[in-house]
Amino acid sequence: MWPFESSYPQRRPSELQAEYDYIIVGGGTAGCVLARRLAEERKWSVLVVERGDARDGWLDKSPLFSTYQFSDKKHGVSLQARMWEGKKVEVLGGKGLGGTSRINGMQWTRGVPGDYNAWGESGREGWSYDTLKPYFERAEGHWNPATLTHYGRNGPLQVEAPPQEYRWGVTREIVDASEQMGFALCNDVNDAKLPSSGCFLLHLSTSEDNYRSSTFRAYLPKAFALAHREKLHLCTNTVTRKVEVEKTASGTLKATGVIIQDAKPGSSTRFIAARKEVIVCCGALTSPKLLLLSGIGPAKHLQEIGIPVVHELEGVGSNLQDHMGTPMSFYAPIWDTWVALFLKPWWLIWQVLRYLIFGVGWLRDYYMETSIYTRADYLDENMDQKQLTEKQRDATLPENIPDIEIMFGAVCDIMHPGYDKTKGGYNLLPTVLRPQSRGTVRLSSSDPLDPPVVDLNYLSAPADRVTLRTAARLALRLVATMDARGYATSPIRAPALDASDAELDAFLDADTQSFFHYSSTCRMAPRDAREPGVVDDALRVHGVPNLRVCDASVFPQIPAAHTQAPVIAVAERCADIVKAAAK
């Protein structure tokens, strides 16, 4: 009990051992999972190097105030990325133990089975849905499940089913309108037996104690970290400058360890050796950056930056994929949306008290509770869903992966010029789920403290613009249907329902943004594939067998889902692969 309670066991670079069996670079969404699974064996020494901290106060745990947009921003990293010529957009990453899982929207969406069956059909052995399903279940601690047939009950990460009643009045109207348009209401977004097209209620990674369930809190809570502190060392507020890779006497390459430094500029560096493996878990924007800093990547780029080429690997930092789209905002009755929290101070005070005393209310509930998933070719000329064939209803088939999501949020930007503060508002976010455009991550310099150069290259593939237009028209048609049903919802910022392609493009070009689901920059594929791979099916960097990558960067193709659950499942499987290799 405080003040005698032990603090969370963090270490500085000067306090580390000279070598460890495993070095995990990045204690984010995937890194915490790997650290837990390797440390619980109690026979290996494990080091986690994380650039952020281990702070876990009330603001870091509450579902509202830990979300990046409403937080103190300490656990997020923001930088500007190129969308296309002359247009930039903000991109975000997590910082601190738990990484992005501590600041994200908490959606727990596995993706349809067809996503992973497509990986398997492309030659990725061991990555089909039937293989990954047990890893989703191993992670899940589903504490109020709507069904027990396909969720884990005993996993570290707590997952909550949607409530029986809608939190927001506008959600009910959206669901009713979507059903009128032919989209069936699906209560469980992760039920593999359901078709991939419909209006889905979303599960969240929130815990039974009414807090966010990040991988930090779930996999590396203080009790576990203290119990394993002899073998598990957590080095926070520390930057990894590079992975040292050397040529062995037999001519092969081996990762020998990492060079680290305190996150403060000008700090001294230290080399820490790895007896077995180095595993990079820095996320899809930073993992390729670290490989490039280590001399692994496209030779031409490394030479331009002045970094010696240790291992030429063309795919590093290429094939960047992301879910992008364009928010549209509309008015609605104030008490039907989350906006009342910000426009009615007395209501905010009341909700804070309800949350602090009883753990209920609007501060616990999240503003996204439903999404429409579908395919452009499932829509007729009026944007209604066509009658699906039995084959089209089979979500295990790769050809049925959804390529459109209409995200819904019961909140909007009340600072928009001219906003009528007597009304509530909500957003619809038309999203391209299966982008054909590919971007890059490159170095800006050889200094690890400098941000990478991120080129998202949105809409460079003409098919993506066609899909985004279709998604936007579906969102507008949904609002028109709500209006026709008697629910008046006038636009705050949205194009007209009958907008021409040129008018719609002008709106999309002005407001398209990232939804922060970066992936595939160290993709799992052969190194000589059309889109060059960086890691093999065991997540080993091609040509460096004791160097692995484990995060969203290894996805062969971005799943049609919010990426938290897929990253955790990949990390759970990676842990088994690593343990099997050590036997």
* 357: pLDDT strictly greater than 60: yes
pLDDT exceeds 80 at position 164: no
pLDDT band for position 3 (cuts 50, 70, 90): very low
- Residue-wise pLDDT tens digits, 43-65: 999 999 999 999 999 899 999 88
**HEC-encoded secondary structure of 50-66:** CCCCCCCCHHHHCHHHH
Whole-angstrom distance, CA of residue 103 vs CA of residue 61: 9
pLDDT tens per residue, range 471-496: 999 999 999 999 999 998 899 999 99
pLDDT in tens, 25-43: 999 999 999 999 999 999 9
Cα–Cα distance for residue pair 399/471, rounded to 1 Å: 18
Burial class of 523 by CB neighbour count within 10 A (0 to 12, 13 to 18, 19+): buried
pLDDT at 4: 37
Binding site listing for FAD: 100
Taking CA 282 as the corner, what is the angle to CA 279 and CA 283, rounded to the nearest 5 degrees?
120
Could you confirm whether 562 is annotated as catalytic? yes
Q: What is the pLDDT of residue 266?
A: 80
Say if residues 284 and 551 touch (Cβ distance below 8 Å): yes
pTM for this structure? 0.96
Q: What is the pLDDT of residues 365-396, one digit of tens each?
A: 778 899 999 999 999 999 999 999 999 999 99
Please give the pLDDT value at position 147: 65
The confidence band for 1, taking pLDDT boundaries of 50, 70 and 90, is very low
Q: Which of 75, 228, 311, 562 is catalytic?
A: 562
Q: Which of 233, 323, 517, 542 does the annotation list as catalytic?
A: 517
| Amino acid 162: pLDDT | 86
Tokens 């960097």 found at: 541
Would residue 517 show up in a list of annotated catalytic residues for this protein? yes
Banded model confidence at residue 21, pLDDT cuts 50, 70, 90? very high
**String of DSSP letters for 118-182:** HHHHTT-TT-SHHHHHHHHHHHEEESS-S-SSS--SSSSEEEBPPPSS-SSHHHHHHHHHHHHTT
What pLDDT sits at residue 146? Answer: 63
Q: Could you tell me the end-to-end alpha-carbon distance of the chain, in angstroms, rounded to an integer? A: 41
Q: What is the pLDDT of residue 264?
A: 84
